[in-house]
Structure 1
Amino acid sequence: MQLAALPDSALVRRGLKTGQECATDPAYCAQIRRVVRYPTAALRAQLEGTVRVQLTVSAAGYVTAATLLEAEFRSAEPLKAAEESAARQAMQEAAVYALRRLRFVPGKAGTEIVALSYRFRE
């Protein structure tokens, strides 16, 4: 599915507050569910957590840049350093990939900076 072809009702509203994305905007959750995949390495490592990403959104509603701000993860079991590192990296990449594909309601002018989080849970 190409997110650019979404009807207006399926576009993410501007002004989302981090941590309340799904509670305040069902379009955000619907778009994210279409593209996010829990990384296999993270599932094997029983790793879950939250990734916070800063997005630059164009006036047309497209994400033009994404920057990882922070990531917090925890595992149910102690992990080997290499296994944990690979799982963390996979989760960060999956979150940035999904958030970059969001399509926002077009703005009136210029670009907008938005910080959003995505929480991975088993």
Structure 2
Amino acid sequence: MKTEFIIRCIYALCLIGAGFNHLQTVLMHGLFWDYNNAPLFTCIYWTSLTFIDPLAAILLFYRPRIGLILTFIIIFSDVVHNTWITLKVGRDLLNYMYISQFLFLVFVLCTIKFPWKAHKTS
């Protein structure tokens, strides 16, 4: 298997896992849950990831360049947003969810060039 395909598979698995976590929340609390009085933007953002994460995973295989861009935007904005919200509510950044997101961002930053170069025309 090509390295770039393996990288896209890893991205997709991470996105599907994240989307599944958001789906569990939606199924448990509904689409309009306020995440225990979180700011409105946070509620909209987190709920939207229920749909955007799997979309990015699909695009990684059908429109790789668009999928790569969306994957980067998702994980970058997620880490920035979750850093802000975690600090805002006074929680520790050293929790497994935040660390896993941060590590995924680092992985994407270190590897995205391989699938990007392989899909110059898509």
Q: TM-score, normalised on structure 2?
A: 0.27
More strand by share: 1
The structure showing larger relative contact order (alpha-carbon pairs under 8 Å, at least 6 residues apart) is: 1
More helix by share: 2
Q: TM-score, normalised on structure 1?
A: 0.27
